[in-house]
Amino acid sequence: METLAELVEQAASLPDRPCTAVACAADPDILRAVQHAVSKGLAVFKLFGDKAELEEEIRKTCPELLGSPDVELVAAAGQVQAAEAAVDAVSGGEAQVLMKGNLTTAVLMKAALRKESGLRTGSVLSHVALFEVPGYKKLLYLTDSAMSLLPDLQTKSQIIRNAVAVARSCGLERPIVVPLAAVEAVNPAMQATLDAAALTMMNQRGQLEDCIVDGPLALDNAISLEAARHKNLTGPAAGNADILVAPNLEAANMLYKSLTYFAGAKVGGIIQGASAPIVITSRADSAETKLNSLALALLVSKN
């Protein structure tokens, strides 16, 4: 795939439509994303929240959703109850995707990580973003810009596994993974280069499967063949990255926002590593970003 529109079309071609549980769904952009998803036949929905508020917002924003057989309104009082009810729907098998509406991420994740009825698996949770960047030759994955603040080597290996699983769900059988650093040479004073070299070796020894890991590489050499040639870099990842693994959350977050605000990239993203994909978008994100994220989650939910 070269565009996120293709991602949405691929999700629409799934043989049956997964159900998405949306916590605190009374949000205009969330409802527009739901409406687009319903119109394209992507999914059916359980919308949790104050029923009167939900109905009022639907009337104002997407009146065609009222009475739709693909949309069920479920009463829940307040953010905590809505979050827990949406998580319960997923953990109980009534829904296959969890989606954040107009509530804080902390409330939703606390419900998702409850020991008794949450979505824990014992794996590291990480954010996987998929970008359509103007001028880049293919879709580009970035991880982890939302969950792991200062990941150690073991955490980075799980972050890679999560991202590879997402990429494979989207049809990329053997993605090229680049652990990013500021330089290509391994430098004992730069932990990012040590981790990148170790992750590359783990891949070569079969500890990280279904992908090619090649690092450390600086960003320019990971995405620009011309830049890589100037440094005589000829490895499989030179100018050809599919998945960029940032050294820490701050670097990933800044790269994420640089791509969206400076480069005008389109994006979708999910939390991977739970028992079901979790769509956590910013309340400021557009309906298009929410739809892209939902399509990504739906594809992952079927694998």
- Domain range annotation of the chain: 4-121+274-301, 126-261
The CATH code of domain 126-261 reads 3.40.718.10
What does the pLDDT read at residue 166?
97
pLDDT for 201 beyond 80: yes
Average pLDDT, the chain: 93
Average pLDDT over residues 210-221: 95
pLDDT for 78 beyond 80: yes
Q: Give me the DSSP letters along 229-244.
A: HHTT--STTTT--SEE
Q: Which of 279, 256, 269 is nearest to 180 (CA)?
A: 256
pLDDT in tens, 139-179: 999 999 999 999 999 999 999 999 999 999 999 999 999 99
Q: Which CATH class is domain 4-121+274-301?
A: alpha beta
CB 175 within 8 A of CB 211: yes
CA angle 38, 42, 43 (to 5 degrees): 75
- Amino acid identity of 19? C
Q: Which of 114, 99, 105 is nearest to 48 (CA)?
A: 99
What does the pLDDT read at residue 111?
94
- The secondary structure element, H or E, covering residue 132 is strand 126-132
- Amino acid identity of 67? G
Q: How far apart are CA 221 and CA 228, in angstroms?
A: 5
What does the pLDDT read at residue 16?
87
pLDDT in tens, 249-303: 999 999 999 999 999 999 999 999 999 999 998 877 888 999 999 999 999 998 7
Count of CA atoms in the C-beta half-sphere (13 A) of 286: 10
**pLDDT band for position 43 (cuts 50, 70, 90):** very high
- Amino acid identity of 113? L
**pLDDT band for position 81 (cuts 50, 70, 90):** very high
**pLDDT band for position 133 (cuts 50, 70, 90):** very high
**DSSP tag of 63:** G
